[in-house]
């Protein structure tokens, strides 16, 4: 009994010391682990300079309402190659011709892929187009088709009458405006002519009509606007569900559905003309894709989604070129 009481008394005296020792050991171990982690990261990641970032949003607050001016000011302070964290997305900013040449020529394969945004995934059916598809065998084959069937010298020359007709129509509009004494917006007219030329070459239809917009021109403009809309999922992947609450996903799907319906209608018209033996000598890009799909001589499979995505991205890239 005496020994038991002595043991209890001794235990009461040393227990606080043991707890304190364990706590000190835990702090030392944690500090050592954090030191090793920081040392390892500093050795592995040789990152470009970056302005201080805030929790969660990163460097979004540095961009401002005029991104081109904000990025210019940041590049003067942090150099021609800097790293910004747009939310949870690390973004490399290149502000010199030399660095851009290194990326686009010397290391072009490393930087070949584009981020598959929420809008691109919906509009281009999982990014099976030529603009957002991952660099690889599929991308090379689809790009080859685009170059040969749309941008080849023979194909470009075959559309000379389209360019002549649209240019003649533009001159007629200006002549009519001069005779009637009305003003004209030459910028809008030139964009309309360019859009019609591209649309007739791609799908065989005008993008613009007299007295208003045709469906294809209106849809491609809507796609261009929605492609640049803010998406939580693009910058904060774990907040992608908020794009549904804000209405972005429903709007993207509605536009995609309308565009798919339009192109499906044009595809059926092309197939009907071909089955009736009434196909004209002029072949547009969509008709060329349908013919390649029918022949089955391609190394890559062209499904409906592939055709729609490729046709849309070709029209979209020309729209972007018109604006810039």
- Provide the CATH number for the domain around residue 176: 1.10.630.10
Which of 166, 251, 266, 167 has the alpha carbon at shortest distance from 216? 266
**Residue that is last in its domain, among 96, 111, 126:** 111
Cα–chain center distance at 305: 17
Q: Is the pLDDT of residue 252 over 50?
A: yes
Cβ-based neighbour number of residue 288 at 10 Å: 15
Question: In this structure, is residue 172 part of a structural domain?
Answer: yes
8 A C-beta contact, residue 95 and residue 78: no
pLDDT tens digit sequence for 218-233: 888 888 899 989 999 9
If asked whether residues 83 and 213 sit together in one domain, one would say: no
Question: In this structure, is residue 34 part of a structural domain?
Answer: no
How confident is residue 3, by pLDDT bands cut at 50, 70 and 90? very low
How does the average pLDDT of the chain come out, rounded? Answer: 79
3-state secondary structure 185-209: CHHHHHHHHHHHHHHHHHHCCCCEE
If asked whether residues 304 and 177 sit together in one domain, one would say: yes
**Residue that is last in its domain, among 50, 77, 111:** 111
Taking residues 293-311, report their average pLDDT: 79
Number of structural domains, the chain?
2
If asked whether residues 67 and 189 sit together in one domain, one would say: no
Taking residues 170-195, report their average pLDDT: 86
Instruction: Give pLDDT, residue 107.
Output: 84
Percent of all residues in the chain with a pLDDT value above 90, rounded to a whole number:
16
If asked whether residues 183 and 259 sit together in one domain, one would say: yes
Question: In this structure, is residue 212 part of a structural domain?
Answer: yes
Highest mean pLDDT, choosing among 31-35, 75-79, 137-141: 75-79
If asked whether residues 232 and 268 sit together in one domain, one would say: yes
8 A C-beta contact, residue 95 and residue 72: yes
Question: In this structure, is residue 83 part of a structural domain?
Answer: yes
If asked whether residues 314 and 200 sit together in one domain, one would say: yes
How confident is residue 135, by pLDDT bands cut at 50, 70 and 90? confident
**Residue that is last in its domain, among 111, 126, 145:** 111
Please give the Cα distance from 285 to 302 (Å, whole number): 14
**CB-based burial of residue 132 (10 Å sphere; 0-12 exposed, 13-18 middle, 19+ buried)?**
buried
Please give the Cα distance from 311 to 207 (Å, whole number): 14
3-state secondary structure of 7: helix
8 A C-beta contact, residue 266 and residue 205: yes
More confident residue, 316 or 305: 305
If asked whether residues 178 and 95 sit together in one domain, one would say: no
Instruction: Give pLDDT, residue 11.
Output: 45
Q: Is the pLDDT of residue 131 over 90?
A: no
More confident residue, 235 or 9: 235
Q: Looking at 6-10, 124-128, 179-183, which range is the least confident one?
A: 6-10
Taking residues 255-259, report their average pLDDT: 92
If asked whether residues 75 and 206 sit together in one domain, one would say: no
If asked whether residues 97 and 196 sit together in one domain, one would say: no
Cα–chain center distance at 195: 21
If asked whether residues 185 and 317 sit together in one domain, one would say: yes
Question: In this structure, is residue 54 part of a structural domain?
Answer: no
Can you give the pTM of this predicted structure? Answer: 0.75
Q: Is the pLDDT of residue 248 over 90?
A: yes
How confident is residue 258, by pLDDT bands cut at 50, 70 and 90? very high
Q: Where are the alpha helices (DSSP H) in the chain?
A: 2-44, 60-63, 67-78, 97-101, 118-123, 137-149, 153-158, 160-180, 186-203, 215-227, 232-235, 242-245, 248-275, 285-295, 304-323
Question: In this structure, is residue 99 part of a structural domain?
Answer: yes
Instruction: Give pLDDT, residue 322.
Output: 55
Q: Is the pLDDT of residue 257 over 90?
A: yes
Taking residues 54-83, report their average pLDDT: 89
Question: In this structure, is residue 282 part of a structural domain?
Answer: yes
Instruction: Give pLDDT, residue 282.
Output: 57
If asked whether residues 64 and 161 sit together in one domain, one would say: no
What is the residue range of 103's domain?
60-111
8 A C-beta contact, residue 80 and residue 99: yes
**Would you give the end-to-end CA distance of the chain in angstroms?**
94
Question: In this structure, is residue 158 part of a structural domain?
Answer: yes
Instruction: Give pLDDT, residue 121.
Output: 92
If asked whether residues 98 and 210 sit together in one domain, one would say: no
3-state secondary structure of 82: strand
């Amino acid at each position: 009994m005496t020994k038991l009481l002595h043991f209890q008394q001794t235990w009461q005296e040393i227990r606080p010391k043991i707890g304190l020792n364990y706590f000190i050991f835990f702090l030392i171990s944690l500090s050592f682990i954090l030191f090793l982690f920081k040392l390892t990261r500093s050795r592995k990641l040789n990152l470009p300079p970056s302005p201080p970032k805030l929790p969660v949003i990163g460097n979004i607050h540095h961009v401002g309402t005029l991104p081109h001016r904000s990025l210019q000011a940041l590049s003067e302070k942090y150099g021609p190659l800097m790293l910004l964290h747009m939310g949870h997305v690390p973004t490399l900013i290149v502000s010199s011709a030399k660095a851009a040449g290194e990326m686009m020529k010397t290391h072009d394969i490393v930087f070949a892929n584009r981020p598959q945004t929420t809008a691109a995934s919906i509009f281009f059916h999982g990014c099976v187009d030529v603009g957002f598809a991952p660099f690889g065998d599929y991308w090379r084959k689809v790009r080859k088709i685009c170059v040969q069937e749309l941008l080849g010298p023979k194909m470009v020359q075959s559309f000379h009458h389209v360019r002549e007709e649209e240019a003649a129509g533009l001159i007629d509009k200006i002549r009519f405006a001069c005779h009637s004494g009305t003003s004209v917006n030459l910028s809008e007219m030139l964009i309309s002519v360019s859009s019609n030329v591209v649309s007739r070459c791609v799908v065989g239809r005008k993008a613009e009509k007299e007295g208003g917009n045709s469906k294809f021109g209106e849809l491609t403009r809507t796609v261009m606007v929605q492609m640049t809309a803010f998406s939580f999922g693009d910058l904060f992947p774990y907040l992608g569900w908020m794009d549904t609450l804000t209405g972005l996903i429903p709007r993207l799907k509605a536009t995609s559905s309308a565009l798919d319906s339009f192109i499906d209608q044009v595809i059926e018209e092309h197939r009907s003309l071909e089955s009736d033996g009434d196909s004209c000598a002029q072949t547009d890009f969509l008709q060329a894709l349908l013919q390649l799909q029918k022949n089955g001589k391609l190394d890559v499979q062209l499904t409906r989604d592939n055709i729609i995505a490729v046709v849309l991205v070709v029209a979209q890239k020309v729209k972007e070129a018109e604006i810039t």
